[in-house]
Amino acid sequence: MSNRTKQRRSGGVSLLLYQRTLHPELFNILRSDRVSRRAYEADIWLVDGGHVITFAAGQNLLSEVIVSNPDKAGLTDRGLVQSIPCRGERYHEMESGGNIKYMISTQEEQLTETLYEATRQEIISYATKRELMTAEVLPTADAAGSLHVLDIECRSHELLVQSFHLFNENQLVMKTQGIIEVMKNS
């Protein structure tokens, strides 16, 4: 058990919130989608190590970045409004630009190998049945593999996002549930 703590990722998983778009070249984009509703537009990327969601409502914009080792991603502080390490369980809520409300809960767990593999299989089965956006990074000589899944529900004035990011290297499971909404009467 003591090795589990020592094997924790050096940079951990972080939540970064920007009030600007982020350049796609900053990320290794594995899958992408674009959503357009009357009240908002959203770009959704599954990236190596997490995901990026850029939500635009009128002239205002909020980009959610969930990524492992953000220091290595080359992200700058320009437009950064929040940077939150996702250790344990967290909840964050904020308003952005006067018309965007953002809420997220995150849960990071480091599991035993057996429990990690069972969780991984359960998430793969769930993602397959629901036809969710999924990307798997296969292990290489330089890096352990990972699995990334997004469950997106698009409503007229809000985007509901549930994510699962699994890192084989140290049996780390990151789960998020978020709502990004256009506030009415703003």
What residue type is 179 in one-letter code?
Answer: I
Query: Helices then strands (H, E): number in the chain?
Result: 2, 12
> What is the C-alpha separation between 179 and 99, in angstroms, rounded?
14
The mean predicted confidence, pLDDT, of the chain is 91
In this structure, what token pair is assigned to residue 55?
Answer: 């939500």
Whether the CA torsion 6, 7, 11, 13 is positive or negative: it is: negative
pLDDT at residue number 128: 97
- The pLDDT tens digits of the residues spanning 9-31 come to 445 799 999 999 999 999 999 99
Spatial distance between the Cα atoms of 94 and 73, rounded to a whole number of angstroms: 24
DSSP 22: -
| pLDDT score at 143 | 84
Confidence class of residue 145 from pLDDT cuts 50, 70 and 90?
A: very high
Q: What is the pLDDT of residues 111-133, one digit of tens each?
A: 999 999 999 999 999 999 999 99
User: Collapsing DSSP states into helix, strand and coil, what is residue 75?
Assistant: coil
- Token reading at 101: 């409300």
CA distances from 179 to 22, 43, 69, 115, 118 (A): 20, 15, 24, 28, 28
Binned at pLDDT 50, 70 and 90, residue 72 comes out as: low
Dist. CA 168–CA 165, nearest whole Å: 10
Mean pLDDT of 66-91: 86
The pLDDT score that the predictor gives to residue 4 is 39
| Domain residue limits, the chain | 2-182
| Cα distance between the two ends of the chain | 51
Find how far residue 63's CA is from the centre of its chain. 11
